[in-house]
Structure formats: structure tokens, C-alpha cells
Amino acid sequence: MTGFGARLAGAVSAHGPLCAGIDPHPALLAQWGLTDDADGLARFADACLAGFGGAVAIVKPQSAFFERHGAAGVGVLERLLAGFAETATLTLLDAKRGDIGSTMDGYADAYLRIGALLGADALTVSPYLGFGSLEPALVAAAEAGRGLFVLARTSNPEGASVQLATLDGRSVAQSVVDAAAARNAGSPPGAGDVGVVVGGTREHGLDLAALNGPVLVPGLGAQGAGPADVVSRFAGTSGPVLPAAARSVLAAGPDPAALRGAALALGEELTSARAGSH
């Protein structure tokens, strides 16, 4: 079984680093002329699958926008993940799960175990009940060849009071990065399975050189970070940097061809910015 880190490295090499967000929030459903119900959600998901499948390295469905439609919405998410599994595009489910003990075991079963119906190639998780609380998720992900992206330095202003607090002379966010790096020790260069989430809209102040895994960088496009910002702020990172954009790409919908074109154009901007930095 090929691990997530190695699969991701191959996908980025083939399709570039862009992570296309799939965020079917009510305003976007309306913009696409779709109803704010499970039927409109399914049409949205089908367009994203047709547009992004095989065109980008990885997509990031936001679980909340599917969950808000209840069981039918979760069913759409399940079908979407299964659809992408038939393409060359990886999936990162943005659910930010984090809990303790048997509850974390339950989340690991739901999203990460072998055969999980809501299993994506990777899952976002929160370490802010202590990095050790993620152990069930780390074990299940490793057994199934999946990846994790652990929240480290998020872009919301409320996060600073926790993430920038100091612990043993380093920020809590840096301690999260270091714990992820320890899990990636021994992996091939840059191909660790445990990544971190670091917002791209401002300087993050983290040392990512030893991570040996991927960094998910939300904030590209509508949130204000440009390709050059991402390149400069994440220079020296030891694994793939995945700038994530949702609204700026999804605005091209609902036509799948237009979605694909918008994603490819933004991917080319990222590639050009990276080339121009060398």
C-alpha cells in the first residue's frame, strides 16, 4: 500500500500544487442557480467532480456544507468522495475532527479506517485537546494509507491567543508542527503522511524546515493571499505546499469546463510564481 505522502507527491508532480476547495455554501448554490437542498447539493457536487477530477492534484470538500443538509447531504458527500476515488485527484476532507478517548476512536472509524464510507485520502484534525489525543486518528490513518492535516496556525484572529501562547520556549503552533515532524521521521524526503494547516494570509512565524510532510495553506484568492505571497511565506518548507482556493475557483461554475479552466489557470499562476522565486 502506497502511503498518502507518496501519492500526494506524485499528484502534485503531475498536476501542480493547487488544492481546490469544494464549499457549497448557500450563497454559492444560489449563484449557480441551484436550490439550497440535497438536490441542489448533488448537482453542485457532480459539477465539481466533472470539473476537477483528473485536473488538480487534490480537492478539499468542506464537510459542514454537506452536513447541514442532514443524512441526504452526507450521502452526497459519500458519493462525491467515491467519485473522486475513481480519478487521479486525491481528496482531503475538511472536517477538523478532534476529541478524546473512545470518541476519537469513533471519528477514526468514521473517516480513517480501512473501508470507511466517509474515508478520503486525508482528513483535517484539531490537536487543541493535546496532540496525543489524536493517536487513534494517527494509527487508523497509517493503517489505511491515509493522511492527516493537523491545525497549527490558522488564519482566524481568535486562534492567536491559543496558537501563539508559549510552551517550553516555543509557540503552541510550533509544538504542533514539531509533533507532526516527529511522526514523519523516517519517511522519504518530503513524503510524510502527517501535514499541518497554516493560513496563508499573513506571516506565520513557524519553522517548517523539518516537517518532512505537506502544508495546507488556506487563503489563496478570495481571502487575500496571492501566489507570490504563498511562495514567499512558505519558502524552505520541506514538503509539498498546497495553496487552497475555493471561492475564486468556484465562482466560474456551474459549468464543469469553466471550473476546470479556472483551476488550471490558478495552478499555472502558482507554478509561475514558484519559478520566478528561484
Contacts 24+ apart (CB under 8 A), 232-236: 232/277, 233/200, 233/203, 233/204, 234/198, 234/200, 234/208, 235/277, 236/208, 236/209
How deeply is 264 buried, as exposed, middle or buried, from its count of CB atoms within 10 A (0-12, 13-18, 19+)?
Answer: middle
Q: Which residues of 178-189 are buried (b: 16+ CB within 10 A; e: fewer)?
A: bbbbebbeebee
Which grid cell is 228? 507570490
Instruction: Report the C-alpha gap between 56 and 8 in whole angstroms.
Output: 11
- How far apart are the C-alpha atoms of 111 and 119, rounded to whole Å? 5
Q: How far apart are CA 146 and CA 192, in angstroms?
A: 11
Take residue 112 and report the three cell numbers written for it.
Answer: 480513517
Q: Which of 15, 43, 69, 96 is catalytic?
A: 96
H or E stretch including 266? helix 256-276
- Chain CA centroid to CA 237, Å: 17
Residue 262, Cβ neighbours under 10 Å: how many? 20
Closest CA to 221 of 245, 201, 197, 237: 245
Query: 14: number of CA atoms within 13 Å, CB side?
Result: 14
Residue 96 annotated as catalytic: yes
Active site residues: 96
